[in-house]
């Protein structure tokens, strides 16, 4: 599909009823004009410029019909927490396959998709990671995020489908936990990163960390020259309130020792 077609067709946004989705929808309309918002859950009333479609990502035909009408894709739909493999597979694995496969078939793209810090959550806290490190998932959920990154890699190398995977840290209005001083991404910075990805002349099959300019960040996007992401926020502004007496957490507790935090300690049995 030509760049002109990509830009005149609507942006397809999966996961639009989610926490990040609800914040992003009006901003995406402002940035890109027409938006098709989809989710398996109730999307609420459509905003001006928006079409809402309730669909299951595991339904290949429904996904195909949505992708066929789209220009670019923001794929945030899926299960965002640790649960059983049976529940993760249809939403995160089959659902992501359906999005990429439809994009390949219809020549639609690029795709910016949510990966997660939980794809690399078993690296030790404090260790500085660039975007070339191998995945080290901390949960079955994290494994599904690593799957997304691998699928995106295959679909670029074999078919030329361009994508950017965002290993989002902790996207929320404010950091509320000492760990967030390293992992926080403000909503505004997340939007800046999405916009920078879509503005890049060429994405290839990049993966980036979704993180603000935190003094205590463990993650670097320095190797991703293709995307001009300039985060403006810094969790350090909250450090005085969050850890007034310094970081008093037990450094050997698994949720402190490893980057994935509570996803690491959930079921940890070593």
Binding mask 59-88 for ligand NAD (x = CB under 6 A): -----------------xxxxx--------
Binding span for ligand NAD by CB under 6 A among 10-18, 223-231, 232-240, 258-266: 10-18
Q: How far apart (Å, rounded) are the C-alpha atoms in residues 89 and 59?
A: 13
Instruction: Candidates 5, 19, 83, 128: give the one binding ligand NAD (CB under 6 A).
Output: 19
Question: Residue 110, preceding bond cis, omega within 30 degrees?
Answer: yes
**What is the per-residue DSSP string for 224-246?**
-TT--------GGGGHHHH-TT-
- Minimum separation from the CB atom of position 117 to ligand NAD (A): 6
Exposure string for 38-75, b = 16+ CB within 10 A, e = fewer: bbbeebeeeeeebbbbebbbbbbebbbebbeebbbbbb
Q: How far apart (Å, rounded) are the C-alpha atoms in residues 238 and 224?
A: 28
Asked if 241 interacts with ligand NAD (CB under 6 A), we say no
**What is the per-residue DSSP string for 128-197?**
-B-TTSPP--SSHHHHHHHHHHHHHHHHHHHH---EEEEEE-EESSS--STTHHHHEE-HHHHHHHHHHH
- Minimum separation from the CB atom of position 58 to ligand NAD (A): 5
Contact at 8 Å (CB) between 209 and 167? yes
Asked if 41 interacts with ligand NAD (CB under 6 A), we say yes
Phi, psi for 260 (deg, rounded to 5): -75, -5
Binding span for ligand NAD by CB under 6 A among 15-23, 101-109, 211-219, 221-229: 15-23
Instruction: Candidates 40, 88, 103, 164: give the one binding ligand NAD (CB under 6 A).
Output: 40
Name the active-site residue from 141, 155, 156, 258: 141
Asked if 120 interacts with ligand NAD (CB under 6 A), we say no
Asked if 89 interacts with ligand NAD (CB under 6 A), we say no
Asked if 168 interacts with ligand NAD (CB under 6 A), we say yes
Of residues 33 and 90, the one with the C-beta less far from ligand NAD: 90
- Minimum separation from the CB atom of position 2 to ligand NAD (A): 29
Contact at 8 Å (CB) between 110 and 72? yes
Instruction: Candidates 12, 13, 21, 238: give the one binding ligand NAD (CB under 6 A).
Output: 21
Q: How far apart (Å, rounded) are the C-alpha atoms in residues 197 and 252?
A: 37
Is residue 209 annotated as a catalytic residue, yes or no? no
Contact at 8 Å (CB) between 21 and 37? yes
Give, in order, the Cα–Cα distances in Å from 175 to each of 30, 87, 180.
Answer: 26, 29, 5
- Minimum separation from the CB atom of position 56 to ligand NAD (A): 5
Asked if 29 interacts with ligand NAD (CB under 6 A), we say no
| Residues noted as catalytic | 141
Binding site for ligand NAD (CB under 6 A): 15, 17-21, 39-41, 56-58, 76-80, 90-91, 95, 114, 116, 168, 170-171
């Amino acid at each position: 599909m030509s760049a002109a077609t990509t830009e005149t067709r609507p942006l397809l946004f999966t996961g639009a009823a989610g926490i990040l989705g609800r914040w992003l929808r009006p901003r995406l309309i402002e940035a890109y004009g027409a938006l098709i918002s989809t989710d398996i859950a109730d999307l609420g009333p459509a905003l001006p410029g928006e079409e809402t479609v309730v669909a299951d990502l595991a339904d290949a035909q429904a996904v195909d019909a949505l992708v066929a009408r789209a220009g670019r894709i923001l794929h945030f739909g899926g299960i965002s927490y640790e649960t059983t493999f049976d529940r993760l597979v249809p939403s995160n694995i089959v659902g992501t396959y359906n999005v990429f496969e439809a994009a390949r078939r219809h020549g639609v793209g690029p795709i910016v998709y949510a990966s997660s810090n939980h794809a690399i959550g078993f690296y030790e806290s404090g260790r500085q990671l660039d975007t070339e490190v191998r995945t080290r998932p901390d949960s079955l959920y994290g494994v599904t995020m690593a799957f997304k990154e691998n699928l995106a890699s295959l679909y670029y190398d074999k078919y030329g489908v361009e994508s950017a995977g965002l290993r989002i840290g902790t996207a929320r209005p404010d950091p509320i936990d000492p760990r967030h001083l390293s992992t926080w991404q403000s909503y505004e910075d997340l939007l800046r990163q999405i916009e920078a990805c879509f503005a890049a002349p060429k994405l290839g099959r990049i993966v980036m960390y979704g993180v603000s300019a935190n003094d205590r960040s463990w993650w670097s996007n320095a190797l991703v020259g293709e995307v001009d992401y300039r985060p403006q926020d810094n969790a350090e502004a909250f450090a005085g309130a969050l850890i007034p007496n310094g970081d008093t957490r037990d450094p050997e507790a698994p949720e402190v020792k490893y980057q994935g935090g509570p996803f690491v300690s959930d079921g940890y049995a070593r």
